[in-house]
């Protein structure tokens, strides 16, 4: 019989175990802790923790330990359990009462057996074969059902061979052993149920996030990959910073909750793009709206070519009454010159419409010259300007394919993102998500948007996401307006951004030193994009 001192010690141990179980976030480690705790307070040599399948049809082996045989399977052992599930009913639908753990689960009752070899109500044939094969002697058994707050059995704790303290002598599980394990099973069931509920809520929440990203993807397939790649690169860089033990970022650390918070922020960083018009997001050329209006300009050129040909033919017809071959040849020569000029202007405008990183001044001047020097006869027969003011504005865009108004529309997505995220009732461990997600377009020198924050006003996480967002955009090969850059070109631009105050210089140094760019490239870039870069050049 247990002494009062021993019982009090084990009760105190049970309290400590209960407190630790409530703090464990990882379900695998939680299950392992439950079994190890049950073994510890009963001094059992072995034990198994079973989980009930979601459909309530069978028990599944989760964790198995036998100290004297040095058997460790499941959990963090790294050794998978290959044993089949234990069905709760046989093929005829009758309860499978011959197995101790199944009996405990079906009848919601603890089973305490002094000697398995003297328990005719249960089938221990498998246990006997195991003993014969290993030389082990399975004797005392204690199977305790784990019930959640709704009274449903969610698992079973089964312990084998209680031992006297300080001895290898196997004894029966005492009534105090049983009471303590039943109490532990109750606490464990609550902890496991809570953890499962939290996990399910997290999975549901992430599913909603993925639903938003899917909506963005369906709206514009050019941005769908971005919503997945930026979080991945964000976490790669954040982990590299977390592992840094020297330099200005050595004090930065993350725990599992910090990682989850940053992951969620990364997944939601562009959720505001659901408000951005698709024709702006997908604008592949300067004249594109719902369609590429360069086709309209092509048509006008064809009209001018037709008009020039008709004019030349009319002038030739005027010479029919008098034969003048030289005059006719001159007329046709002038027509060919005019036709070539039209073709050259047409080709030039088509090339200009494609957009570029920089449109030179001479090209802007030529576009305006074409607009000012040419007219065409519209469908009403009225001579009108060859390029509309909107077309002229778009064709004289100096960089990319967006006008300033369209850039403002694109930039508004971050304002929408912040508004959307700040509306949510974030729990304590996720309250920084709006700040992390909303800061990826800020600059270290305060010239970013939407708030014009400086480096000192931003968290490390927001600055990490800023680098990830820019690098992904430079190297992405699924944009409608540009091909993906090679590593050397993208890293060169990133280095300039470091020098001019656009991105955090310390974070970029980690990005380079820990080769985060290369690990990302190997996962997400096309092989032709991965070329050699000069690390000494980037170190300055």
Residue 135 half-sphere exposure, CB side, CA atoms within 13 Å? 2
Q: Over 110-138, what HEC string results?
A: CEEECCHHHCCCCCCHHHHHHHHHHCCCC
Whole-angstrom distance, CA of residue 69 vs CA of residue 135: 10
Is 210 part of a structural domain of the chain?
A: no
Residue 492 belongs to some domain of the structure: yes
Residue-wise pLDDT for 443-493, tens only, equals 999 998 899 999 999 999 999 999 999 999 899 876 665 677 899 999 999
Domain co-membership, 76 together with 117? yes
Look at strands 375-377 and 86-87 and give their pairing. Answer: unpaired
Average pLDDT over residues 209-222: 74
- Domain shared by 273 and 300, yes or no: no
pLDDT tens digit sequence for 240-275: 999 999 989 999 999 989 999 999 999 888 888 777
- Nearest Cα neighbor of 45 from 185, 179, 177, 168 is 168
pLDDT number for residue 480: 60
- What's residue 452's pLDDT? 92
- How many H-runs (helices) and E-runs (strands) does the chain carry? 19, 10
Reduced to 3 states (helix: H, G, I; strand: E, B; else coil), residue 293 is coil
What CATH number did the domain enclosing 241 receive?
A: 1.10.3210.10
Tokens, residue 111? 């089973």
Secondary structure class of 323 (helix, strand, coil): coil
- DSSP-assigned beta bridge partners for residue 51: 60, 155
- Tell me the average pLDDT across 147-153: 86
Residues 270 and 301 in one domain: no
Backbone torsions φ then ψ of 380, nearest 5 degrees: -90, 5
Query: Does residue 204 belong to any structural domain of this protein?
Result: no
- Residue range 21-38, pLDDT digits in tens: 666 677 788 778 888 888
> Quick one: pLDDT at residue 110?
94
DSSP percent split of the chain into helix, strand, coil, nearest 5? 55, 10, 30
Note whether 90 and 96 are within 8 A (CB). yes
Instruction: Tell me which of 216 and 267 has the higher pLDDT.
Output: 267
The span from the CA of 375 to the CA of 300, in Å, is: 9
Interatomic CA distance for residues 441 and 423, integer angstroms: 20
pLDDT for the residue numbered 458: 94
- H or E stretch including 188? helix 175-219
**Do 15 and 113 belong to one domain?**
yes
User: Does a structural domain hold residue 308?
Assistant: yes
Domain boundary among 373, 401, 429: 401
Does residue 211 form part of some domain?
no
pLDDT band of residue 224 (cuts 50, 70, 90) is low
Contact predicate 228/468, CB 8 Å: no
Any idea how long the chain is? 540
Q: Are residues 260 and 147 in the same domain?
A: no
What residues make up the domain containing 328?
294-401
Answer whether residue 4 shows pLDDT above 70. Answer: no
**Do 461 and 520 belong together in one domain?**
yes
Strands 383-385 and 111-113: unpaired
- pLDDT 10s digits, 503-522: 999 999 999 999 999 999 99
Asked if residue 389 has pLDDT above 80, the reply is yes
The larger pLDDT score, comparing residue 98 to residue 271, is at: 98
pLDDT of 86 > 70? The answer is yes
pLDDT > 70 fraction of the chain, expressed in percent and rounded: 91
Who wins on pLDDT, 375 or 274? Answer: 375
Q: What mean pLDDT is predicted for residues 231-242?
A: 95
Domain boundary among the residues 344, 368, 401 is at 401
- pLDDT tens-digit series, residues 290-307: 777 888 888 888 888 888
Q: Are residues 47 and 190 in the same domain?
A: yes
Instruction: Name the band, by pLDDT with cuts 50, 70 and 90, for residue 11.
Output: low
pLDDT at 462: 95
Query: How confident is the model at residue 221, as a pLDDT?
Result: 62
Rounded distance between C-alpha atoms, residue 241 and residue 73, angstroms: 35
Instruction: Tell which of 164, 198, 232 closes a domain.
Output: 198
Torsions phi, psi of 536, nearest 5? -60, -35
Average pLDDT of span 371-384: 84
pLDDT digits (tens, 9 = 90+) for 34-83: 888 888 888 899 999 999 998 999 999 999 999 999 999 998 888 999 89
Residues 127 and 33 in one domain: yes
pLDDT at site 129? 92
Quick check: 141 pLDDT over 60? Answer: yes
Mean pLDDT across the chain, nearest whole number? 86
Residues 193, 65: one domain? yes
pLDDT band at 220 (very low <50, low <70, confident <90, very high): low
Lookup: tokens for 398: 């100096």
336 falls within a domain = yes
Nearest to 295 by CA among 368, 404, 406, 391: 391
Beta bridge partners, 12, equal none
**What is the pLDDT at residue 183?**
82
Q: How far is CA 263 from the centre of its chain?
A: 7
Helix (H, G, I), strand (E, B) or coil at 355: coil
HSE-up of 345 (CA within 13 Å, CB side)? 26
- Position 173 pLDDT exceeds 80: yes
pLDDT value at residue 459: 94
Domain count, the chain: 3
For residue 428, is pLDDT > 80?
yes
DSSP character at residue 405 = H
The reply to whether 425 and 394 lie within a common domain is no
Confidence of residue 194 (pLDDT cuts 50, 70, 90): confident
User: Are 114 and 29 in a shared domain?
Assistant: yes
Residues 56 and 154 both lie in one domain: yes
Is 348 contained in some domain? Answer: yes
What DSSP line would sit under 505-520, residue for residue? HHHHHHHHHTTHHHHH
Could you count the other beta carbons within 10 Å of the beta carbon of residue 508?
24
Question: In this model, does residue 20 exceed pLDDT 70?
Answer: no
Residue with tokens 């050049």: 537
pLDDT at position 3 is 59
Q: Which CATH number goes with the domain that contains 72? A: 3.30.450.40
Q: Which two tokens stand for residue 500?
A: 């001019």
Establish if 21 belongs to a structural domain: yes
Asked if residue 18 has pLDDT above 80, the reply is no
Q: Is the pTM of this model over 0.75?
A: no
pLDDT at 302: 87
């Amino acid at each position: 019989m247990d002494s009062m001192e021993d019982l009090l010690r084990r009760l105190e141990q049970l309290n400590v175990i209960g407190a630790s179980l409530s703090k464990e976030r990882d379900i695998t480690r939680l299950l392992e802790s439950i079994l190890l705790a049950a073994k510890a307070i009963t001094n059992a040599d072995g034990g198994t923790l079973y989980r009930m399948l979601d459909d309530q049809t069978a028990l599944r082996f989760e964790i198995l330990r036998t100290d004297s045989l040095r058997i460790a399977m499941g959990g963090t052992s790294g050794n998978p359990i290959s044993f089949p599930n234990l069905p709760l009913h046989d093929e005829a639908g009758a309860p499978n009462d011959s197995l101790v753990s199944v009996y405990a689960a079906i009848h919601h009752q603890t089973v305490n057996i002094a000697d398995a070899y003297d328990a005719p109500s249960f089938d221990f044939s498998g246990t006997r074969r195991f003993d014969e094969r290993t030389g082990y002697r399975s004797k005392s058994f204690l199977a305790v059902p784990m019930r959640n707050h709704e009274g449903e059995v969610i698992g079973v704790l089964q312990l084998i061979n209680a031992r006297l303290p300080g001895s290898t002598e196997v004894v029966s599980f005492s009534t105090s052993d049983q009471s303590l394990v039943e109490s532990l099973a109750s606490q464990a069931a609550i902890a496991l149920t809570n953890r499962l509920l939290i996990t399910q809520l997290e999975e549901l929440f992430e599913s909603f996030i993925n639903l938003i990203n899917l909506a963005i993807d369906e709206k514009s397939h050019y941005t769908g990959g971005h919503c997945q790649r930026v979080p991945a690169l964000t976490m790669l860089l954040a982990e590299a910073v977390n592992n840094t033990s020297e330099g200005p970022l050595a004090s930065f650390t993350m725990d599992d909750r910090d990682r989850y918070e940053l992951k969620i922020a990364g997944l939601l960083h562009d959720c505001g793009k659901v408000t951005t018009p698709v024709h702006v997001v997908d604008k592949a050329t300067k004249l594109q709206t719902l369609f590429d209006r360069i086709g309209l300009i092509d048509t006008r050129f064809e009209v001018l070519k037709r008009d020039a040909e008709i004019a030349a033919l009319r002038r030739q017809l005027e010479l029919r009454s008098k034969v003048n071959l030289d005059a006719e040849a001159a007329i046709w020569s002038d027509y060919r010159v005019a036709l070539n000029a039209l073709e050259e202007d047409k080709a030039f405008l088509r090339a200009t419409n494609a957009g570029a990183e920089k449109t030179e001044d001479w090209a802007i001047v030529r576009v305006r010259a074409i607009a000012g020097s040419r007219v065409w006869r519209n469908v009403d027969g009225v001579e009108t300007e060859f390029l509309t003011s909107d077309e002229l504005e778009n064709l004289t865009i100096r960089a990319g394919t967006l006008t300033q108004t369209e850039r403002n529309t694109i930039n508004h997505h971050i304002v929408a993102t912040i508004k959307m995220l700040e509306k949510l009732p974030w729990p304590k461990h996720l309250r920084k998500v709006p700040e992390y997600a909303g800061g990826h377009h800020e600059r270290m020198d305060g010239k970013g948007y939407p708030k014009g924050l400086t480096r000192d006003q931003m968290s490390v996480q927001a600055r990490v996401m800023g680098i990830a967002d820019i690098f992904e955009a430079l190297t992405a090969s699924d944009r409608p307006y540009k091909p993906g850059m090679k590593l050397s070109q993208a890293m060169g631009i990133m280095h300039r951004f470091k020098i001019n105050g656009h991105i955090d210089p310390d974070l970029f140094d980690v990005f380079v030193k820990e080769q985060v760019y290369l690990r990302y490239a190997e996962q997400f870039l096309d092989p032709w994009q991965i070329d050699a870069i000069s690390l000494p050049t980037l170190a300055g």
